[in-house]
Structure 1
Amino acid sequence: MPSPFAFPGDFRRLWIGQTISAFGDKVSRMALPTVALLGFGGTAWDVGLLAALRFLPFVLIGSVAGVWVDRISCRRTMIWADAGRLVAMGSIPVAYLFGVLTLGQLFVVSGVVGVLTVFFEVAAQSYLPLLAGSDGIVAGNERLQTSRAVAEVGGAAAAGGLMQILGSALAILADALSFLASLVTLLLMRHREPPVARTEERRSALKEAREGLEVLLSDVRLRTLMFASTTVNLGVATANALVLVFAYDEGKLSPGAVGLAFAIGTAGLILGAVSSGAIARRLTLGRTLAASILVTGAGFLLLPAGGPGAALTTLIVSQFLIGFADSVFNIHVLSLVQRITPPEMMGRVNGTALSVVFGTGTLGGLAAGFVGTVVGVLPGLVLSAGIICCGAVFVLVSPLRTIRDGVGAVARRPERENATRDKAPRTPC
């Protein structure tokens, strides 16, 4: 069977590098807070700050990273980002061995890695369509999503073993080496991007970043995807923050039981990733997007419906359904955006979209505290599920509902989008 990818060898290298990197990332996400808590007597505030420093940069500089990627090069940006993350993460075990590791260094490293990850992710999402080609975009996203899902389980097991054998600080070396592996796969790629076309007058970065938002808003399909994703992410972020409160306070579950439920949820992620293409072919793409949103909402709604007495059963089923639907939704949204977006605008559109997604997630976390306090955990989960399901309305009342597959989505682009492309011609990443 012929490969669906435009450059199968280079896509394979990207996939291998990202798979290894996903395992390393899971190790550091567990080891970093462990070092802070056990090595320096850190508090919950310190752990929260470490997480915020890795993800807040998506909100603050996502659009800036998009401009950079469109101006420079996807592959080159990824290479420099991996090199920087290798040095940053590698500094922790080195400092530990010399006895000079501090809590402040953990914060600095987390922030540096967060900033570089923004540039890497925007470039990677913009680079995939070139390596995969239009026929291989969905298959490429399926494979990458499957790798990330497997890494959630395997990476957690690896993190536990490494921390037990080497200690938390030295276990972070695994993440540093994973960046080295990703860097090597990028350097080994044979296909070279064409040089970015230079305009006579370099426009401001702010103006170029605004063009990414204009493309998102001017195309009804991209606009609908953004509104639907924003609504879903707001509800999911709010509900996720309430799930643990429900499990421990309402259901009186043990940490081991909760861990088992979340592990089964990861199995749902994997199943959703490998079956997303078949589901879309059977239901059509528009119906698949709407159905995955509704299944996500139903997954959270199971918790208050079952009540505290059936907490473990409903949590297991809930996490499986949510993981399954999340994979299906994310794969097809990302693939559709990559097919619709003009290649020369890919970085800015992806950067702006990531800013919106992570911004909504941050808002949802804050909303959970308010909702849980004012109306309670169970009503809060019902409200969150309702917000999630509202995302399906955007799909069902828009042209997205008529799209049978992603191929037809690129047939026509609005005039305003073409005008933007003509105004600033660039070769694609």
Structure 2
Amino acid sequence: MPSCSSTASGASGPGLWRDAGFRRLWAGQTASQLGEHTALVVLPLVAVLTLGAEAGQLGFLRAVGQAPVLLLALFVGAWVDRWRTRTVMVLADAGRAVVLGAAAVAGVLGMLGLPALLVVAFTVGALSVFFDVAYQASLVRLVGRDRLPAGNSALEGSRSAAQIGGPALGGALVSLLSAAAAVASGALFFVLSFLSIRRIGGREAVPGRAEGPSRMWRRILEGLRFVAGDPALRAVALASATFQFSLAATMTVYLLFLPRELHLPGTAVGLALAATGPGALLGSLLAARLPGRLGHGVGLVSAAALGDGVMLCVPALHGSAAVTLPALVAVNFVFGALGQLVNVTVMAVRQALTPDGLQARVAATITFVGMGLTPLGSLTGGLLAQDRGLRTGLLVAAAGMLLSPALMALSPLARLGRTLPARRDAPPTAGRRGGGQPGGGAV
């Protein structure tokens, strides 16, 4: 059921756009994701092209930026379930804007070295954990269950727009402007997100707060047990873990392979990465229709296998930019389209299975399991590049991503039909939070 009165109009996809709260969430998330995707490209490229970072140093930088998922995700999930998601998102946006703004000032003063980049990467990564968990829970509180596929498709479409603009902008700024200007670009998008999300009105229904801090661990364990006890959610977490580990290793080598092995400038690297965005936009559109026609299980397994498998083409590329750049654009387009189809479908399945009071904790638990190994993956990618060379390292890392569709094919996910599965019952203690009423305990 809808959690706010503002969602009463319309149960169909188009009805979402008559909901002012959803429109502001969509606009804010688009700007936030654009800032995040810009920073994800800018910080490594500044390290590689401006500071001359080696493979091991780049792997360490990426690992530091990903470490907050492992360290914070479970606590953030338990915390977000008791607060207004709007409050969490605007504070995360404000924090990221301040951090990137300070980094830009450090760049102007000539103080933006690798140690400063490590601090920036960790802080932005930590605040992104808060934002990402909160926006996933926010959708469930803003719209009804029957509108989750359309809502997820719209939000993932906004992420696609970020993937189009962010990498291209980041690559161009690193190549054409100073490191300070490149880093500052992300701050502007976080400011725009802050201004949009803070205007989400209405009383957001949230579970009441626990009576004491000792219940934090109990709430975390409830999320862990719920995911571990559900075969479909458990498969989502395991498949995500194998994919994200291998993707982190792949991207670490990839960001070295393009400029150093294929001799592409920063602008071309940004263009190649940006091709994921149009593909992801197509994948978001397909995700609103294909699972209902082919079946969620068939769509998940086949899209994951084809999308991950296409990355094996990249290590085989040789020649001039006139040959390699179009090939990279094509590979990233397919990877983005099929990967987004998987992302949207998995998110809809997870939200459909999870009770309202556990949404943030389940999202955080799956994020923790799925993304927790990414720091190790980034370090592994850096070591592979150093010990085995860029081409062999990229081949090994990309091949590892195929473990994810293999796990899904052996799980209950492969047997999902054309309709979303029924919501599971919450654990007996999950619904009792000190007698809180809808909207109680919000800040």
TM-score for both structures, normalised by structure 2: 0.80
| Maintained 8 Å contact 1:339/1:406 | no
- Provide the residue aligned with 1:360 in structure 2: 373
Matched AA of 1:175: G
The offset of 1:380, in angstroms, is 6.3
Deviations 1:186-243 (A, max 9, x none): 2211222135424455534233222211111011111121122223333433444455
From the superposition, tell whether residues 64 and 323 of structure 1 become closer, same or farther in structure 2 (CA, over 3 Å): same
- Provide the residue aligned with 2:88 in structure 1: 77
| Maintained 8 Å contact 2:246/2:398 | yes
Q: Structure 2 residue aligned with 1:331, among 332, 335, 344?
A: 344
| Maintained 8 Å contact 1:238/1:365 | yes
- Provide the residue aligned with 1:130 in structure 2: 141
- Separation in 1, partners of 2:387, 2:364: 35
Q: Is 1:348 equivalent to 2:361 in the alignment?
A: yes
| Maintained 8 Å contact 1:150/1:270 | yes
- Separation in 2, partners of 1:380, 1:100: 34
| Maintained 8 Å contact 1:4/1:135 | no
Q: Is 1:146 equivalent to 2:157 in the alignment?
A: yes
- Separation in 2, partners of 1:5, 1:285: 23
From the superposition, tell whether residues 381 and 210 of structure 1 become closer, same or farther in structure 2 (CA, over 3 Å): same
- Provide the residue aligned with 2:127 in structure 1: 116
- Provide the residue aligned with 1:182 in structure 2: 193
The offset of 1:333, in angstroms, is 1.1
- Separation in 2, partners of 1:246, 1:34: 12
- Provide the residue aligned with 1:229 in structure 2: 240
- Separation in 2, partners of 1:337, 1:191: 26
The offset of 1:57, in angstroms, is 0.7
- Provide the residue aligned with 2:214 in structure 1: 203
Deviations 1:353-376 (A, max 9, x none): 212222232333344456667888
- Provide the residue aligned with 2:6 in structure 1: none
From the superposition, tell whether residues 392 and 22 of structure 1 become closer, same or farther in structure 2 (CA, over 3 Å): closer
- Provide the residue aligned with 2:299 in structure 1: 288
Q: Structure 1 residue aligned with 2:27, among 16, 29, 33?
A: 16
From the superposition, tell whether residues 199 and 271 of structure 1 become closer, same or farther in structure 2 (CA, over 3 Å): closer
- Provide the residue aligned with 1:52 in structure 2: 63
For the residue of structure 1 that corresponds to 2:204, the secondary structure is coil
Q: How does 1:62-101 map to 2 (within 5 A)?
A: 62-94=73-105, 99=109, 101=111
- Separation in 2, partners of 1:385, 1:30: 19
For the residue of structure 2 that corresponds to 1:72, the secondary structure is coil
Matched AA of 2:334: L
For the residue of structure 1 that corresponds to 2:135, the secondary structure is helix
Q: How does 1:393-404 map to 2 (within 5 A)?
A: 393-404=406-417
Matched AA of 2:409: L
- Provide the residue aligned with 2:427 in structure 1: 418
| Maintained 8 Å contact 1:65/1:118 | yes
TM-score for both structures, normalised by structure 1: 0.82
Give the CA RMSD over aligned residues.
Answer: 3.7
Q: Structure 2 residue aligned with 1:273, among 284, 298, 309?
A: 284
| Maintained 8 Å contact 1:264/1:320 | yes
Matched AA of 1:19: T
Identity of aligned residues (%): 32
- If each structure's helix is expressed as a fraction of its own residues, which one has the higher value? 1
- Separation in 2, partners of 1:392, 1:174: 36
| Maintained 8 Å contact 2:308/2:398 | yes
- Separation in 2, partners of 1:388, 1:162: 30
| Maintained 8 Å contact 1:7/1:132 | no
Matched AA of 1:392: P
Q: Is 1:254 equivalent to 2:267 in the alignment?
A: no
The offset of 1:11, in angstroms, is 1.0
Q: Is 1:220 equivalent to 2:263 in the alignment?
A: no
From the superposition, tell whether residues 315 and 282 of structure 1 become closer, same or farther in structure 2 (CA, over 3 Å): same
- Separation in 2, partners of 1:109, 1:370: 23
| Maintained 8 Å contact 2:105/2:180 | no
| Maintained 8 Å contact 1:196/1:428 | yes
The offset of 1:163, in angstroms, is 6.1
From the superposition, tell whether residues 377 and 283 of structure 1 become closer, same or farther in structure 2 (CA, over 3 Å): farther
My pick for the range that moved more, 311-320 or 146-155, is 311-320
My pick for the range that moved more, 278-287 or 84-93, is 84-93
The offset of 1:119, in angstroms, is 1.2
For the residue of structure 2 that corresponds to 1:135, the secondary structure is helix
Matched AA of 2:95: G
From the superposition, tell whether residues 168 and 325 of structure 1 become closer, same or farther in structure 2 (CA, over 3 Å): same
Query: Which residues of structure 2 form unaligned runs of 5+?
Result: 1-9
My pick for the range that moved more, 231-240 or 65-74, is 231-240
